[in-house]
Structure formats: structure tokens, C-alpha cells
Amino acid sequence: MDVIEGIEARREAVLQEMRSIKSMKRGTINEQYLKVPQKGSSKPALRGPYHVLSRREGNKTVSERLTTPEQLEQARKDVEAHKRFTGLCKEFEGLTERLGILQGQLSGMEEKKRSKRRLKPSPRSKE
């Protein structure tokens, strides 16, 4: 029973941690450089880096340029929070699966005990 109680306690802790996440965003932050033609030179100059938050929505990639250092910092925190959230979801899934297996084994053991009791002859039937 201690194992089951430990799993249930960890599941509650995972849920509490998920509830504590106040802001998150899916996606990745990329650096983008632009080639700009230079006067008097055949080689273009690279401008950048420009930071872009990109994510997939269906079959399309949606990108948002992060123009200020504050936007970049918040986007980094939000992307990291989303990674943490998905990790917690996977942990919760694994814990719940394990809990179901253990509870199934426990109920199977109880069923075996009950059926063994029924199979044993009573002391009165031997007389």
C-alpha cells in the first residue's frame, strides 16, 4: 500500500505543479538573418539576428517576430514552461498507468484470496 500512496502523492504534486504554470507557449525561438544588398558590392550584407517564435498550427508554420528584449525573455520563459508542462503530462500519464497496474494486481490478489476461501472445505463437512 505504501507504493500506491507514494504514487498518488506524486500524482497530486504533478497536478499542483501543472496548476502553478501561469503562462506558456508552444514553439521554438530561432535567430533569423536577412541578406541586404550593399551599394558598390556584389556580396549582400547580413542583418540580424532577428528573433522569431515559430510553431506549427495544422499544416502551417506560424511565426511571430520578437522585437524587444522583454518579448524575447518572456517568450523564452513561456517556451520553457510549455516543455515543463509536456514533461509533467508524460510523468502523470506514466504514474497513472502504473497506479492502474498496481491496483489491478491488488484486486486480483484479493479475488484469489476470496476464491481460495470458498474452495477450502469447512471443518463440519469432514464429519
Task: Quote the pTM value.
Answer: 0.75
| 82-118 pLDDT, tens digit each | 999 999 999 999 999 999 999 888 776 766 666 665 5
* Helix-helix angle 69-119:2-20, to 10 degrees: 160
| 34-47 pLDDT, tens digit each | 999 988 888 999 99
Residue 125 has pLDDT above 60, yes or no: no
List of residues 6+ apart from 14 with CB closer than 8 A: 88, 91, 92, 95
